[in-house]
Amino acid sequence: MTSVDELRQYLSRLLGWSNTSAIDNALRSLELARERRAQLLLCGAGDLVPIAYALHRRALGPGTPFIVCDPRRRNTRATVRAPANYVDVEAAFAAAAGGSLCVRRRRLPDQFTALAERLRSSLEVQYICLDESSLRWLVRPGPIEIPSLLDRPLDIPRIVDESLLDAFSELPGSAPLNNQDRAWLVDSASTFSDLEKSIARLIALRNSDRVSQAAARLGMTAVSLSRWIDRRRLPAPVATVSAA
């Protein structure tokens, strides 16, 4: 687990360095969730699973399980960058013992209502719920609302730099990105999840001889990584990397 100061630093990146009241409230929400005294609700645009996963690792420690229960996805094992997903709520609950179970409000699994009270009262599992809007929710001490990066253009360079430091610590031995790469990340940043995904994939590509090698480091297929590259105008020398 990280210290309170380190957790506050990460929350400052998510919420805005000057948004002290939101940071204090988020720290309180995390404390209650860690003690299994309240559910943790994250709200915001884009995929919030990577943010929930990052908060989990900092609050409970990287060795504790983090399980997503999303019925629209198949059962998957955890990879270097993504958590495991279970379709069945009972299997997800069992796998999350001692850690966190994460769901999306708009993708609740079948029979989830019957299990909700068990999750909320459990001393074994921390319950995290993700939603695009908190207007219909009355939870205490309140949801953690993640502001859009598009509303924080002046913060994006600092967010990129701090996210790069995190990524290099998770991918040891990687060479740093150049200024052109950093500028591309700043210009293309739209959501936290997309930014962190772009950073990890760009680092893997820059430190691999082939797309297949980079994909293996990321725990994804070379076809998926190649499609991601094709949809973006990445700075050279990514264009010269072989897809073989």
pLDDT at 45 over 90: no
pLDDT score, position 220: 87
C-beta of residue 125 within 8 angstroms of C-beta of residue 119: yes
| Residue of 64, 61, 112 whose CA lies nearest to 86 | 112
Domain boundaries, the chain: 4-146, 150-240
pLDDT score, position 41: 87
Higher pLDDT, 110 or 216: 216
pLDDT score, position 243: 40
Name residues whose C-beta falls within 8 Å of residue 218's C-beta, 6 or more positions apart in sequence: 79, 80, 81, 200, 201, 204, 225
Query: What does the radius of gyration of the chain's CA atoms come to, in whole angstroms?
Result: 18
Q: Counting beta carbons within 10 angstroms of the beta carbon of residue 218, is it exposed (0 to 12), middle (13 to 18) or buried (19 or more)?
A: buried
Half-sphere exposure of 69 (CA within 13 A, CB side): 26
User: What is the rounded distance in angstroms from the CA atom of residue 126 to the CA atom of residue 113?
Assistant: 16
Sign of CA dihedral 158, 159, 164, 167: positive
128-149, pLDDT tens digit by residue?
888 776 554 555 567 899 998 9
pLDDT score, position 173: 75
C-beta of residue 206 within 8 angstroms of C-beta of residue 224: no
Mean pLDDT of the chain: 86
Here the tokens at position 37 are 């005294």
pLDDT score, position 239: 40
Q: Which of 6-20, 31-45, 108-122, 228-242 has the highest mean pLDDT?
A: 6-20
148-181, pLDDT tens digit by residue?
898 999 999 999 999 999 888 877 778 889 999 9
Average pLDDT over residues 80-88: 85
193-243, pLDDT tens digit by residue?
899 899 999 999 999 999 999 999 888 899 999 999 999 889 876 443 434
Average pLDDT over residues 12-32: 93
What whole-number percentage of the chain has pLDDT above 70?
A: 92
pLDDT at 117 over 70: yes
Per-residue burial over 35-60, b if 16 or more Cβ lie within 10 Å, else e, is ebebbbbbbbbbbbbbbbbbbbbbbb
Q: Which of 11-15, 75-79, 190-194 has the highest mean pLDDT?
A: 11-15
User: What is the rounded distance in angstroms from the CA atom of residue 160 to the CA atom of residue 125?
Assistant: 32
User: What is the rounded distance in angstroms from the CA atom of residue 188 to the CA atom of residue 186?
Assistant: 6
CATH class assigned to 4-146: alpha beta
Per the DSSP assignment, residues forming a β-bridge with 101 are 67, 127
Alpha carbon 176 to chain centroid distance?
Answer: 22
